[in-house]
Amino acid sequence: MRRFNMAVMAALTLTAALTAAPATAHGDPAPLGIDHCTPTACHFDVPPDSYDVRVVLGGDGESSTSVNAETRRAMLPETAVPAGARIVRSFTVDVRSPEGEPTGAVGTPGLDLALGGSAPALADIRVTPARHVRQIILIGDSTVCDQPADPYTGWGQQLPQYLSKGITVANYADSGESTVTYLGNPLLWATVQPLIRPGDLVLVQLAHNDKTTDGTTYRANLEKLVTGVRDKGGRPVLVTPIVRRWFNADGTLNNPTALLVNGLGVDHPAVIRSVAAAWGVPLVDLTAKTKALVESLGAEKSKALYLYNEKRDNTHTSLNGATLYAGLVRDELVARHLVSKAAVQVG
């Protein structure tokens, strides 16, 4: 990643106008604005950090625009704007390397934004270094991570669109990880723990791949993550895993497969709930929430939440499912007063 030069930093600090200013007579580069964009994408050559992004949406005709960042992270849901009108929206982006999964491809240096929607129209944009940012760090598996390619989508990939400016989602979930491998891989826990700052929320959802982890080890691993987060001044939040879409004949979800009981008889959600209670850790019972949703939809309609139609996959979520599940996480964070109502986007 190339560093900002002093001229760019000065422009970011001194320029308050929304419209990008032209280069100075001395040949300084323009501030980070609309000139870094095409009709469908923007690229900003910035180093890893947190950045506030302010977009002005709209055009001469009716428009409808969504914004994704980096590895397919949903930053702004599709937003309709009447013809001739303008709407301002702001969000904060975590720029890191690798930009997606910690063990995955490095990705493109800098900040990349993709403009989507049925009729995208970006009237202006301003990118500035963020100040006083609160992080929500995610530790998890493939059902949480920033998935690199369609049709796979993790719920953590969809969570940023529900948060206001000043909060970033730093998604360090990684495909295929268990509590054992996450703690043991130097690219994962050993890399993430030093990044935790006082007051950061650290959400932990690891269970799907603990298929051969015994109960004592699984519990000890969760406790190690909890104490490790607290050692850095962070606030651990334990998250029970999303259910697998695996039905009984009576329309209920199958136990053990759907409800995450492994081959050794370890009931992962039950252990997570027990650790949360014993250690005074906030709990997001995503197993219970997703079970209720999937069963309410039934065997046929719930296919759309997962990749059943595309891949015959009853574990990994579709874009629709990941978005709904991210909304459940948002609701639980607000209900437990971990994030204020003012800090979330409702919808």
HEC sequence for 134-186: EEEEEEECCCCCCCCCCCCCCHHHHHHHHECCCEEEEECCCCCCCHHHHHHCC
Question: So what's the pLDDT on residue 280?
Answer: 98
Taken in order of first residue, the domains within the chain and their CATH numbers are 1-17+34-125 (2.60.120), 132-347 (3.40.50.1110)
The model's pLDDT over 259-295, given as tens digits with 9 standing for 90+, comes to 999 999 999 999 999 999 999 999 999 999 999 999 9
Residues 35-40: contacts with CB within 8 Å, 24+ apart? 36/125, 36/127, 37/113, 37/115, 37/122, 37/125, 39/115, 39/120, 39/122, 40/114, 40/115, 40/116, 40/120
Beta bridge partners of 344: 163
| Nearest-angstrom CA–CA distance, 189 and 145 | 15
Question: So what's the pLDDT on residue 343?
Answer: 87
Region at 251 (left for phi over 0; alpha for psi -120 to 50; beta for the rest): left
The amino acid present at 271, given as its one-letter code, is: V
Question: So what's the pLDDT on residue 31?
Answer: 55
Question: So what's the pLDDT on residue 19?
Answer: 30
Report CA-CA distances (Å) from 6 to 13, 21, 31, 296, 314: 11, 16, 12, 57, 51
For 131, residues 6+ apart whose C-beta sits below 8 A from its C-beta are none
307 contacts 313 by C-beta, under 8 angstroms: yes
Q: Name the token pair of 60.
A: 């001469």
Nearest to 167 by CA among 341, 347, 9: 341
Question: So what's the pLDDT on residue 346?
Answer: 61
272 contacts 205 by C-beta, under 8 angstroms: no
| Nearest-angstrom CA–CA distance, 282 and 258 | 24
Share of the chain residues as helix, strand and coil, in percent rounded to the nearest 5: 30, 25, 45
Q: What's the predicted TM-score (pTM) here?
A: 0.89
**Cβ neighbours around 328 below 10 Å, total:** 19
All residue ranges of the chain with pLDDT < 50 are 1-30
Residue entry with tokens 């007051």: 199
- DSSP character string of 91-108: EEEEE-SSSSSTTS----
Question: So what's the pLDDT on residue 342?
Answer: 87
Report CA-CA distances (Å) from 3 to 6, 9, 47, 145, 168: 9, 10, 6, 28, 21
73 contacts 157 by C-beta, under 8 angstroms: yes
Of how many residues is the chain composed? 347
